[in-house]
């Protein structure tokens, strides 16, 4: 019978999908029905009229739609496990970052038309720039604030016009980081900032983080400058403080990630990496190389240095294949990442063009850190339905969802990226099992040592049960049959 065969076909294919091996309990089924009712409504409205469908639009336009979405509201309450791919200075909400510019003693100047900000003791400004107090600039020029905001966010009403191609958006992105760096590396602000990073995650039901960071030097008003290795101490103290205030939070570990740079800079970064690994093996989970992949040297340019690190027991978590180019030095980073034994792959956007990499990634369970909104804002994909991670999800690859740099595109926490993955990248019938699998994957593939990982999963399971119970009771009148 044709229809029976067809049904069996569809079922078999769906069972290969990420999350397909999860059996939901009766209670979870109830929550799933609530979730899927909302999902179908939103998808059907989008199918009727694409104007209603957030994942096919640029995040700058889509955010308003997502904020009003019932699926999104539910996703926010889901215990999402860990964030495995986010960058040190790009992780708070834009509003929090903006609010920091109201701090006392903060001065500004422009360098080649770009904002630079730094804290000084009154009258002690250095002479590298024409410094003025920001809070004074605000008063004398009413348009100053609007300009300042534009200097610390990629947001624009017309992204396609403002950033005609990928190099334009990356150039602005890197110059934003230049603008905020000395705002954030003033030691007291750095600690408050990082505390808020953890708070944003905690509030979004994310309990652990492996983050990429380049260990910037911090400074005090009195002129003290700390060495990169000392930055680790401030991270660790802030994490301890946060955990004291939020006992359920499980911590954060650093993947030391200098930018792919010239030999001299890289050689000093390698020295830092070796030292950091030796002095802080618990906090330093591994090593990565960052920056716009098409524009910089490939991984293989640093082969000797990487081999040295490897000999010291350093784990790798490489960015690789964050590109639209096929069969070039950039996507070949995927091959070097695998050959060098990477534990996970950052982005891996080009991976579906490399069948042998695909095969090995599945065999060795190397997780792919998918960052949907980042890939859209940094101009690899327009419409989430075209994101290559759809293929990974359909074939049950070890995918985790991450937020990369939420500050600079006006996202917050991890839920916006979960929404894009769930509604835009995964299929129409992908359900609570997929979201549960994303959360479980984030812990399974985290850098946590085995015993801490077991404890983390046990703690997450409690949160999950709790989420199920709370959802059932708060949606009691709306559970479909
Ligand atoms: O998506 C990304 N791919 C590669 N590098 C990135 C991405 N997002 C941020 N950074 C890099 O991280 C540094 C801050 O720690 C940024 O300067 C940027 O080069």
pLDDT in tens, 206-238: 999 999 999 999 999 999 999 999 999 999 999
- The mean per-residue pLDDT over the stretch 119-136 comes to 95
CA of 5 to the centre of ligand 1 (A): 48
**Residue 85 near ligand 1, beta carbon < 6 Å:** no
d(CA 130, CA 116): 10
Q: Is 216 in the pocket of ligand 1 (CB under 6 A)?
A: no
Q: What is d(CA 405, CA 385) in angstroms, rounded to the nearest whole number?
A: 21
3-state SS, residue 259: strand
How far apart CA 404 and CA 91 sit, in angstroms, is 8
Q: What is the DSSP letter of 16?
A: T
| Probe residue for ligand 1, chosen from 171, 289, 291 as the CB with the greatest number of ligand atoms within 8 Å | 291
Q: For residue range 355-388, list pLDDT tens digits in order.
A: 999 999 999 999 999 999 999 999 999 999 999 9
Sign of CA dihedral 54, 55, 60, 66: positive
pLDDT tens-digit readout, 59-92: 999 999 999 999 999 999 999 999 999 999 999 9
Number of neighbouring beta carbons within 10 Å of residue 63: 19
Domain 81-93+188-461 class?
Answer: alpha beta
The pTM of this model reads 0.97
Contacts of 353 (CB under 8 A, 6+ apart): 326, 327, 331
**Ligand 1 pocket, mutate which of 290, 297, 403 (most atoms under 8 A from CB):** 290
For residue 290, what pLDDT is reported? 97
Between the CA of 259 and the centroid of ligand 1 the distance, in Å, is 8
Say if ligand 1 is within 6 A of residue 259 CB.
yes
481 pLDDT higher than 90: no
Q: What is the mean pLDDT of residues 257-277?
A: 94
Question: Whose C-alpha lies nearest to ligand 1, atom 17?
Answer: 174
Q: Is the pLDDT of residue 302 over 90?
A: yes
* pLDDT number for residue 478: 86
What is the distance in angstroms between the CA of the first residue and the CA of the last residue of the chain?
A: 29
Q: How far apart are CA 346 and CA 275, in angstroms?
A: 24
**Percent of the chain topping pLDDT 90:** 98
Residue 424: which of 388, 400, 396 has the closest Cα? 388
Give pLDDT, residue 263: 87
From 405, 407, 417, the mutation candidate for ligand 1 (largest count of ligand atoms within 8 A of CB) is 405
Please compute the mean of the pLDDT values over residues 175-191 and round it to a whole number: 98
- Mean per-residue pLDDT for 270-278? 96
Higher pLDDT, 263 or 390: 390
pLDDT at 403 over 90: yes
Residue 262 has pLDDT above 90, yes or no: no
88 lines ligand 1 (CB under 6 A): yes
**C-alpha of residue 474 to centroid of ligand 1, in Å:** 40
Q: What is the pLDDT of residue 280?
A: 96
Q: Is 139 exposed, middle or buried (0-12, 13-18, 19+ CB in 10 A)?
A: exposed
At 289 the three-state DSSP class reads coil
Q: Are 69 and 160 in contact (CB under 8 A)?
A: no
Mean local confidence (pLDDT), 188-194: 98
Model pLDDT for residues 21-53, shown as the tens digit of each residue: 999 999 999 999 999 999 999 999 999 999 999
Q: Give the tokens for residue 181.
A: 């760096």
How far from 58 is each of 315, 391, 479, CA to CA, in Å? 35, 21, 32
Q: Which atom of ligand 1 is nearest to the CA of 292?
A: 4
- Distance between CA atoms of 469 and 465, rounded to whole angstroms? 6
Q: Nearest Cα to 243, choosing from 203, 202, 276?
A: 202
Over the stretch 106-121, which tens digit does the pLDDT of each residue have?
Answer: 999 999 999 999 999 9
pLDDT (0 to 100) of residue 236: 98
Contact 167, 295 (CB under 8 A): yes
Residue nearest to ligand 1 atom 11, measured at CA? 291
C-alpha 366/C-alpha 168 separation (Å) is 32
Mean pLDDT of 165-176: 97
- Residue where the block lists tokens 């830092």: 272
Token pair of 260, please?
């792919």
Question: By three-state DSSP, how is residue 37 classified?
Answer: helix
Q: Whose CA is nearest to atom 9 of ligand 1?
A: 87
| Mean of pLDDT values over 400-412 | 97
CA 153, CA 150: separation in Å to the nearest integer? 6
Contacts of 154 (CB under 8 A, 6+ apart): 163, 169, 172, 173, 176, 377, 408, 409
Residue 302 near residue 266 (C-beta atoms within 8 A) = yes
Q: Is 243 in the pocket of ligand 1 (CB under 6 A)?
A: no
CA angle 181, 186, 188 (to 5 degrees): 135
Residue with CA at minimum distance from ligand 1 atom 18: 291
125: helix, strand or coil: coil
Domain map of the chain by residue range? Answer: 81-93+188-461, 96-169
Active site residues: 322, 347
Ligand 1 atom with the smallest distance to the CA of 214 is 15
Residue 477 confidence (pLDDT): 87
């Amino acid at each position: 019978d044709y229809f029976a065969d067809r049904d069996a076909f569809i079922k078999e294919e769906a069972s290969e999908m990420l999350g397909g091996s999860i059996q939901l309990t009766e209670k979870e089924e109830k929550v799933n029905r609530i979730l899927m009712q909302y999902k179908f409504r939103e998808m059907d409205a989008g199918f009727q009229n694409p104007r209603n469908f957030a994942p096919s639009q640029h995040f700058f336009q889509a955010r308003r739609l997502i904020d009003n979405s019932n699926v999104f509201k539910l996703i926010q309450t889901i215990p999402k496990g860990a964030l495995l791919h986010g960058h040190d200075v790009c992780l708070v909400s834009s509003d929090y970052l903006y609010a920091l510019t109201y701090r006392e003693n903060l001065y500004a100047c422009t360098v080649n038309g770009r904002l630079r900000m730094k804290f000084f003791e009154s009258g002690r400004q250095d002479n590298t720039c024409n410094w003025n107090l920001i809070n004074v600039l605000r008063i004398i020029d009413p348009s100053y604030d609007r300009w300042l905001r534009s200097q610390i966010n990629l947001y624009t009403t017309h992204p396609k016009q403002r950033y005609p191609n990928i190099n334009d958006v990356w150039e602005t992105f890197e110059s934003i980081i230049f603008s905020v760096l000395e705002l954030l590396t003033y030691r007291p602000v750095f600690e408050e900032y990082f505390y808020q990073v953890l708070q944003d995650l905690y509030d979004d039901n994310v309990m652990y983080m492996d983050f990429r960071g380049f260990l910037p030097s911090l400074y005090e008003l009195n002129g003290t400058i700390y060495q990169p290795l000392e930055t680790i101490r401030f991270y660790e103290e802030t994490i301890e403080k946060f955990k004291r205030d939020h006992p359920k939070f499980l911590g954060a570990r650093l993947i030391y990630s200098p930018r792919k740079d010239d030999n001299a800079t890289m050689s000093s970064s390698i020295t830092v990496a070796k030292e950091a690994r030796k002095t802080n093996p618990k906090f330093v989970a591994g090593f990565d190389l960052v920056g716009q992949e098409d524009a910089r040297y490939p991984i293989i340019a640093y082969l000797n240095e990487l081999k040295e690190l490897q000999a010291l027991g350093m784990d790798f978590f490489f960015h690789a294949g964050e590109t639209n180019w096929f069969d070039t030095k950039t996507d070949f980073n995927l091959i070097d990442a695998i050959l060098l034994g990477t534990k996970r792959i950052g982005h891996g956007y080009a991976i579906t063009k490399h069948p042998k990499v695909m095969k090995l990634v599945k065999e060795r369970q190397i997780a792919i850190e998918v960052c949907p909104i980042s890939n859209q804002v940094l101009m690899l994909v327009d419409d989430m339905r075209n994101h290559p991670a759809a293929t990974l999800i359909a074939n049950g690859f070890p995918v985790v969802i991450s937020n990369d740099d939420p500050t600079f595109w006006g996202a917050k926490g991890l839920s916006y990226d979960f929404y894009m993955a769930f509604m835009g990248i995964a299929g129409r019938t992908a359900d609570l099992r997929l979201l549960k699998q994303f959360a479980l994957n984030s812990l399974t593939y985290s850098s946590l040592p085995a015993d801490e990982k077991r404890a983390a999963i046990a703690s997450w399971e409690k949160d999950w049960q709790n989420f199920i119970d709370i959802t059932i009771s708060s949606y009691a009148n709306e559970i479909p049959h």
